[in-house]
Structure 1
Amino acid sequence: MRRLIAVLAAFTLSLGMLTACSPGSSQSTSADNAKTVDAYLSALIPKKYQGATIQVATDATLAPTEFVDPETQQLVGADIDLINAAAEVLKIKVTFVNVPFEKVISGVTKGTYPVGASSIVDTRSREKKMDLVTYLKSSPRFFVAKGNTFTKTSELCGKTVAVAAGGVYVDEVKTLSATCPKASPITVEQLTDQSAATQAVVDGKAFASVVSGPIAAWTVKESDGALELAGEPLAPFTYGFAIAKKSGLAPAFLTAVNSLITQGKYTEILKKWGLEDSAVKASTINPRTRKKTS
């Protein structure tokens, strides 16, 4: 896998050179280069998916990465744009399936969905069940109802923190709770999705919620003053597009994401959604497993 990733990375760096026609290049040379790129990209797509529409599972409650536009009722966000752009690079068709986060993870694990795009944190345990093609990094943040601010995470002891079920934030809060006095642990309220977790904070049913920094900031911004960020950012996470192990699609999406980075489209999309500070220099597959074995 490591050798394959290195080869793909090297080829991706040359995609821009192959597809761009220099002032002195002939039209025939440009056309030949385009054919070479198309042939290579086509070969990356397993036969069962060639000509088919690939389902991408997403939990569209995580603005600004994936959410439902209230005016158009269409799925929008950075993840949606990146997947669509990757599909354009690979010349494949994708369709999004909006399901709760737990079903995104279980669906990709079982192969029900070939791809998952839902602000999925890369962990070693997940890399055993699926391939993670990295594309973002950020530090999780807590948010609370206006006026309920706190500075230290120890102040959460004895309080309720609402999180989306199936996410890594469940374990993050449980880890924090383990440092609390036995008489006042943190109560972890696992809800269907992040929208429900946010609503629990607004309604006073939970003291706080925690999610990736950009999502927390967006949630606070859109709350009309009802919410505010609190505490210090937690240790940063890397996020990846989840690819079903047996699908064989990970190399294709790795190449596509790195192509978007090289060509500048990646930066353009992140700036559109205010995520430029979460950019990665290059995408890779299952970096946690690779670090452990290298």
Structure 2
Amino acid sequence: MRGGEIIGGRFKFKVKVVNESPYTINDVTVYILSYPRDTLILKTEDDDIFFSKIEPQGFRSPSFDFLPTQDCVRGEIVAGVSYVDASGKAHTLTTESYTIRAVCDLLQPEAITPRGFELKLKELESGEILLKVEEWTPEEMQEKTLRVLSDSNFHEVSSDESITDDVVHFKISGWAKGKYTRKNVGAEIFITGISKQKGASCRIRVAGEDDAMILPAIDDLKERLSAYLCPMCGNKLTLDNVEDLKKGKIVRCLFCNVSIGR
């Protein structure tokens, strides 16, 4: 098993080695086989971690620290594990590749006026994508978007609303700067739908001083906006909540107790 997360500007990659055999395994070594070297530097003291043994049904969870060198990190990390079984036979295994795609986690908010934001966007290259949501009202998506932008390290520049014949339109914008390249990136999210009715369209537009950040940032925001999160508190909904929402039922968030789906 493997996984990772960005903590304090570093990417921590974990490999969990479980001994599911009835015998102790010995001389266990966990090491990194491959990672995107153009955007990450391995900062762990050693590139392999050794355990003398792992008992039956026991496990070890070593971690490797990587330091990003760019604001956009994309690639695959593959780890290897070698060990000697109870009969003295050596084995070597590799993990499935772990895809790392980080942009918003490597940003920091930067304040800018709405006028300054509009002027900046005229100078920058941009890209956009259209996202359809069926389980949320436009108002819920607006609340969710504000939280997603904040969690994605964007400074909220503006949040505008207008209504035409029961169709509500939201425009939310955010501005941030890369921690490493110090280049700026702006996001605009346009939400449209019938007021108080489930189903809305979200158009995500991202502009940046570094062209390489645009598409990954769009993908990052799309993934966060598509996740089944409570639009009020931002916590993940349970699988039962998600299934009930898909059936058109009203659900209640276990964390903030708000009703969702009306």
Q: Using CA pairs below 8 Å that are at least 6 residues apart, which structure has the higher relative contact order?
A: 1
Higher helix share: 1
Which TM-score band (shorter chain)? under 0.3
Q: TM-score, normalised by structure 2?
A: 0.23
